[in-house]
């Protein structure tokens, strides 16, 4: 029998059952259904996980973190198993890294990967018209930027309206000038040494570039920006402030946004726990997906 998209009520019911029967057992990792190249560079590859007999399923497109200079598409913990069991095709992409390339190239790589998904995901049972873009940390910045600055998708012949929802997880760079000022003020007032390769250097030592790589800069009505769920660590001052900043900009533009702060967690744990039973961020995520996919 072909897998079908679960309704919001089915999402909640299924998750409640999994929480009741698997309190102490986390799902094991899956082997990708396929690993494919979307470009010529060795980093321009993605992993794809598809349920058996998949047909026209929504697609989760995941962007890993690592400060734009580390990380890998395999850093997905239990997400592929959780999402495929709930009726999704799951894609995790690599991209070229700093300092070998600049930030513009990184974002372009992500857009090229989305283009591959648009063109080929149907071969693996996914529906390109039901695309959900997500990412953690540096991947959160990339996800938010791809879903607000439409120039990158347009360069690949795509439009923002192909994205049904966006979920950036614990990013601190939705407003890059703000995080640079915050970090550098902290170093100065506490007489701390600056980072050797901080945000200023990563995004180019140019104030105009800092604004251009910030999702908040590109939020505007009439751009088909998808609904956004911003997940963040409630006790972390920087990611909390950045989450509220992006949330407020989206809200002021009349765009659908939910900001969810997870308590008693950390930057790494909020990502690792995504998909586990009884995890508050996971519950917020599947409620969001159920709503986004109805539209």
| Residue 154 neighbours by CB distance under 10 Å | 12
d(CA 143, CA 229): 11
Average pLDDT in the 132-159 region? 98
List, for residues 255-285, the tens digit of each pLDDT value. Answer: 999 999 999 999 999 999 999 999 999 999 9
- Read off the tokens for 241: 């402030």
Q: Of 10-19, 20-29, 93-102, which one has max mean pLDDT?
A: 93-102
Q: What pLDDT sits at residue 4?
A: 40
Q: Compute the mean pLDDT over every residue in the chain, rounded to the nearest whole number.
A: 92
Could you give the C-alpha distances from 187 to 100, 179, 182, in angstroms and in order?
27, 12, 9
Q: Distance of CA 106 to CAs 67, 68, 74, 202, 287, Å?
A: 12, 8, 18, 11, 31
The per-residue pLDDT for range 227-248, each reduced to its tens digit, is 999 999 999 999 999 999 999 9
The answer, yes or no, to whether residue 15 has pLDDT greater than 90, is no
Q: What is the pLDDT of residue 279?
A: 98
Contact between 210 and 104 (Cβ < 8 Å): no
- Give this prediction's pTM: 0.91
Q: Which residues contact 156 (CB under 8 A, 6 or more apart)?
A: 111, 112, 114, 115
- pLDDT for 295 equals 73
- Residue 85: is its pLDDT beyond 70? yes
Q: What is the pLDDT of residues 41-75, one digit of tens each?
A: 999 999 999 999 999 999 999 999 999 999 999 99
Tell me the two tokens of residue 275. 């998909």
Query: Given phi > 0 = left and psi -120 to 50 = alpha, else beta, which region is 42?
Result: alpha
Length of the chain: 295
Q: What is 85-104 written as a DSSP string? A: HTT-EEEEE----TTTS-HH
Lowest mean pLDDT among 23-27, 198-202, 259-263: 23-27
The pLDDT, as a whole number, for residue 6 is: 41
Confidence check: pLDDT of 190 > 80:
yes
C-alpha–C-alpha distance, residues 158 and 147, integer Å: 12
Structural domains in the chain plus CATH codes: 8-292 (3.40.50.1820)
- For residue 169, the cross-strand partners are 136, 231
Provide the pairing of β-strand 34-37 with 45-49: antiparallel
């Amino acid at each position: 029998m072909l897998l079908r998209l679960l309704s919001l009520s089915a999402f909640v019911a299924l998750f409640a059952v999994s929480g009741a029967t698997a309190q102490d057992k986390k799902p094991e990792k899956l082997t990708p259904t396929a690993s494919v190249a979307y470009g010529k560079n060795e980093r321009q590859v993605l992993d794809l996980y598809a349920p058996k007999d998949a047909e026209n399923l929504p697609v989760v497109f995941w962007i890993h973190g690592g400060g734009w200079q580390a990380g890998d598409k395999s850093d997905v913990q239990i997400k592929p198993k959780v999402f495929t069991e709930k009726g999704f095709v799951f894609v995790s992409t690599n991209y070229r890294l700093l300092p070998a390339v600049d930030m513009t190239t990184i974002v372009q790589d992500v857009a090229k990967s989305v283009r591959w998904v648009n063109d080929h995901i149907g071969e693996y049972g996914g529906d390109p018209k039901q695309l959900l873009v997500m990412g953690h940390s540096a991947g959160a910045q990339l996800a938010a930027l791809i879903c607000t600055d439409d120039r990158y998708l347009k360069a690949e012949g795509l439009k923002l309206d192909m994205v049904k929802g966006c979920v950036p997880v614990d990013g601190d760079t939705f407003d890059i000038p703000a995080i640079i000022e915050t970090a550098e003020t902290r170093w100065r007032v506490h007489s701390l040494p600056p980072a050797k390769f901080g945000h200023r250097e990563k995004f180019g030592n140019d104030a105009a570039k800092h604004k251009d790589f910030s999702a908040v800069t590109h939020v505007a009505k009439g751009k088909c920006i998808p609904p956004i769920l911003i997940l963040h660590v409630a006790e972390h001052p920087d990611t909390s402030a950045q989450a509220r900043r992006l949330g407020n900009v989206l809200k002021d533009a009349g765009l659908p946004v939910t900001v969810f702060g997870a308590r008693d967690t950390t930057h790494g744990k909020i990502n690792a726990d995504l998909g586990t039973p009884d995890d508050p961020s996971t519950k917020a995520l599947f409620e969001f997906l159920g709503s986004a996919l109805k539209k």
